Amino acid sequence: MTYLALCIHNHQPVGNFDFVLEEAYRKSYWPFLRALSGHPSIKLTLHNSGFLLDWLIERKPEYVELLKAMVERGQVEIMGGGYYEPVLAVIPEQDRIGQIRRMSERIHDVFGAAPSGIWLAERVWEPTMPTTIRKAGVEYLLVDDFHFIKSGLSRDLLGGYYVTEDQGNMVRVFPGSERLRYLIPFKPADELTAHLKSLGFFLKRGNCAIYGDDGEKFGVWPGTDKWVFDDGWLESFFAKIESSLDWLQPVTFAEYISLEEPLGRVYLPTTSYMEMGEWSLPADTARSYAELIEELKRCGDDAQRVFRFLQGGQWRNFFAKYPESNWLHKRMLLASKAVDAARAGAGKTEGTNHLYKAQSNDPYWHGVFGGLYLPHLRTSAYENIIKAENAVDDSAATSISVEDVDADGHDEVMIRTRDINLFISPRNGGTLVEMDFKPSAVNFSNTLSRWLEGYHHKLTRAAGGAHDGGGSKSIHDMLIAKEAGLEALLKFDALRRSSFVDRLLDARTSFDDFSANAYKDSVSLADLNYSVTLDDKGVTLARQGQDAYVQKRFGVLDDNSFTVDYSAVIGGKARAAGIRFCVEFNLILPCCDGPACWYEFSPAALAETEASAALNGKGALSGLNRVDLIDAFTGVMLTIESRVPATLWRFPVYTVSLSESGFEKIYQGSCLAFLFDPASNGEVLEFNNSFKVTARKYV
């Protein structure tokens, strides 16, 4: 007898659009469950992540009632996990345990049985995980066979579960089959059952075929709704299993544990699934790694001798690959520390709820799916971080402090008032890396730079996802461009986009060169370490460059506004004819470049010609004193005022990234560069100016 242990994982990230959930429900979640209910002999284990589960309970009672009935008759086992699908390894221990326990309690309340196993988000495993899992009250989890192969086992030894431990805390670990992940649901059911039949001759240890993967493969991924449902793949799959019950027994994971002993002991290395090892590498290395994998695949069976020793990077590499991911993660840790230190009560409960939502894994990384590249997911994460802090800190007093927030060995300066948070990085050009408006829980600095990706070289040969024979293509094999001309947008940034970036531009730098990052500053200030002087009203930052001295002071004006006073002296080789002092901002509103967001410019002479402009507009304006960025839907407004009239260069920042539906252009924020002509004073040029920035609600 061969056992078949199937696990389906349905997930939607916190902050995802409601229409996305509706479409996934219509295309996948509901038709899959309804079809399964018609085949009671086919058992499986099901995981719905917490954000999705809450949505289903609130919006889709028919789904919940049907699932309850299937649980009661023993057809479906509900699997737990971290409530909002965090990568458990990178959140604090108390939050790991709290998220798992909250999910277990919710499942027990709704379905009447506490889960005994967890879905491990993105299968990110680190060797200390068993201690957390046991403390949280569960006993098994599912990872990939790739994890086991990295520990030295071969695939023919992976026909069941193993035990592992940390400090004597034992858990059971199932190896999900990579082969089944690529067969289900992409190949005809005959090919799948033939593979299952062959396992009896192939497996040397155990007798179970183990599958665990995303439910979105069944209808949400491009082309799969037609293939899985309209063309009958799912019914054919179920029929094949039912006709094979004399030798194939479907089981839930918990049921299999009760029937079979573990195959042995194993210690898994720090890893995730194989594709994650590619995605987490730096761009050039990721490309080389992917090319090596393709080369090995062409070598046939001999390649397996090498494959088992390849891994790529680990999930934490995303914090090195993307400074925006690292900052978001460290801000989450800062909020976790504040919530953990708070006294028990309504504020701590509310703060914990928002903190857990902010730990949803999706905006922290990027692979084939949008993830970090999707601004609405980052917006949601920051919203919940700010709300978590607001819930446990209602102080109206202004505070100025220093702390190494991003764990790079250099302190950031934090200015907090009743209404705003400012995070300033002296190490990175004295720039403003985060600006929050606390009443609306908005981070105006939630931008993303245009980073080179290992897959960008594929864009010029992107083509439609035509099928290869019978079946449906896996998302990993697709090359689709969602619009023509995306290769023209492949412009890349050298540094993280932030605000109050100081630049010295010469007359040869054009608007087009600036927007494409195809120029060099006359004096590089953007990534230099500025000195810091604190007082009770603000912070003064200064930098003596080779040919320039720049000083800027961030000062609190009132609860929702601050000033930045500039003084600069430019001499030496930098004192070239036509040199301009540039102060660069990179900003984003919650509704991005949608119709609810726009600029308004002052003075009135400008307003007559451009009373408003979309945030995806670009161009130059001269003689500008003020610009307002307005988000009418969210109801926030940011105003920047310059004491000295400026020339404003503005343009949208677009990235080109991969999503489940192909290459796409995504708005990541707007760059506003204020240009000034310094005054000549003999041997030097001098620049003096003051900016006022105000965040408020838009009425």
Q: What angle do CA 636, 640, 645 make, to 5 degrees?
A: 150
Angle at 375 between CA 369 and CA 376, to 5 degrees: 95
Phi/psi zone of residue 697: left (φ > 0), alpha (ψ -120 to 50 degrees), beta? beta
Q: Which amino acid is at 626?
A: R
669, 651 Cβ separation under 8 angstroms: no
End-to-end CA separation in angstroms for the chain: 68
* Parallel, antiparallel or unpaired: strands 597-602 and 619-631: antiparallel
> Which among 85, 95, 122, 406 is annotated as catalytic?
122
Give the three-class secondary structure for 525.
coil
DSSP string of 625-636? EEEEEEETTTTE
| Contacts with 224 (C-beta within 8 Å, 6 or more apart), sequence order | 185, 217, 218, 472
- 145: three-class secondary structure by DSSP: helix
Taking alpha carbons only, the member of 254, 211, 335, 301 closest to residue 74 is 254
Q: Measure the CA–CA gap between 601 and 607, rounded to whole angstroms.
A: 6
The answer to whether the CB of 251 falls within 8 A of the CB of 44 is no
Beta bridge partners of 638: 629, 695
Identity of the amino acid at 408: D
Amino acid in the structure at residue 371:
G
Whole-angstrom distance, CA of residue 192 vs CA of residue 199: 11
Residue 204 neighbours by CB distance under 10 Å: 10
Active site residue 122: yes
Contact indicator for 533, 426 with CB cutoff of 8 Å:
no
Nearest CA to 615 out of 562, 653, 570 is that of 653
Gyration radius (Cα) of the chain, Å? 28
CA distance 452 to 455: 9
Cα–Cα dist 539/250, whole Å: 65
Choosing from 54, 165, 214, 393, the catalytic residue is 214
- Going from the C-alpha of 440 to that of each of 101, 492, 698, the distances in angstroms are 30, 32, 11
Q: Which residues are known catalytic residues?
A: 122, 214
